[in-house]
Amino acid sequence: MSNFDLSGKTVLITGIAKGIGRQTALELSALGAQVVGTDIDVKGAEETQALLREQSGKSLVFAQDVTQAADWKRVIESIAKECGRLDVLINNAGIILNKPFVMTSFEDYQRVQRINVDSVWLGCQAALPLLTESAKTSKGSSIVNLSSVYGQVAGPMHAAYCASKGAVRMLTKAMAVEFARMKTGIRVNSVHPGPTNTDLGRSGLTDAVKIGLIPSYEAGLEMVLRQFPMGRMGEVDDISSVIAFLASDASKFMTGTELIIDGGFTVI
């Protein structure tokens, strides 16, 4: 069996109602994984489940607010009961805030940290025992955390978001070292997408139009695309296939690594 094959693996993905989370659920399911998806947007999550069923993947969907420890406990207990194991945790759910620092309230800032960072902390703590147990009967378990190029380089109007994604990047590395030294059998890596064609990825431009910073979405997009050596934004499958690699045994000697998926955006 190829190390890229995900057959026999149970994968938990947060934020599957749309965007990168939905595409990741579909791709990992196509590669053979049993997908468990969660989202605060139940209707969107059920739509994703219908798409998973169309491609005949085994899937379970739960409502979950990733900022709530009780929700994490319930989801992990359900996975233990229904699937008996958990091999991969993908902390994908997240939000962006496109606001200048001076206009960002402390409450705005805290909300971004709760959804983007506290969720990763809570999820990893809740899943650790089951991931450790499952690693004993496989080539190892894997956690993939969604950071961003804004966890590496700064962008105007994104102080709260940059702070959150920088924290995800370093939390990933700190857990990677501890989990390896503790012989848990769990690898922890982060992915760093550049601007990607989702509601979240497009919102920087739509919000800039709203406050009059740019005349139109199209004008803003043209400006942004000039910063991409490859001349286009990311698409969701550009990101999901890298997540699939980190979820699989093909990356079994990688931990604490950050994979940038940005068409060269941060190189220049």
Ligand X SMILES: NC(=O)c1ccc[n+]([C@@H]2O[C@H](COP(=O)([O-])OP(=O)(O)OC[C@H]3O[C@@H](n4cnc5c(N)ncnc54)[C@H](O)[C@@H]3O)[C@@H](O)[C@H]2O)c1
Please report, as ranges, the residues that interact with ligand X according to CB under 6 A: 14-15, 17-21, 39-41, 44, 64-67, 92-96, 115, 146, 148, 193, 195-196, 198-201
SS3 181: helix
Nearest to 91 by CA among 123, 59, 64: 123
Handedness of CA 82, 83, 85, 90 (dihedral sign): negative
| Dist. CA 91–CA 28, nearest whole Å | 14
CA distance 159 to 101: 6
What are the residues facing 141 on neighbouring strands?
A: 186
Tokens 């220049």, located at residue: 268
Q: Which is nearer to ligand X, 96 or 131 (CB)?
A: 96
State the nearest-atom distance from the C-beta of 11 to ligand X, in Å.
Answer: 16
Please state the closest distance from residue 165 (CB atom) to ligand X, in A. Answer: 7
Cβ nearer to ligand X, comparing 135 with 246? 246
Give the span between the Cα atoms of 211 and 219, in whole angstroms. 15
Query: Please, which residue, 141 or 196, has the CB nearer to ligand X?
Result: 196
Alpha-carbon distances of 248 from 48, 89, 96, 222, 235, rounded to whole Å: 22, 12, 28, 36, 21
C-beta closer to ligand X: residue 138 or 203: 203
Q: Is 150 a catalytic residue?
A: no
Minimum CB separation of residue 261 from ligand X in Å reads 9
What six digits make up the tokens of 173? 């590395």
Whole-number minimum distance, CB 188 to ligand X, in Å?
16
Which residues are marked as active site? Answer: 161
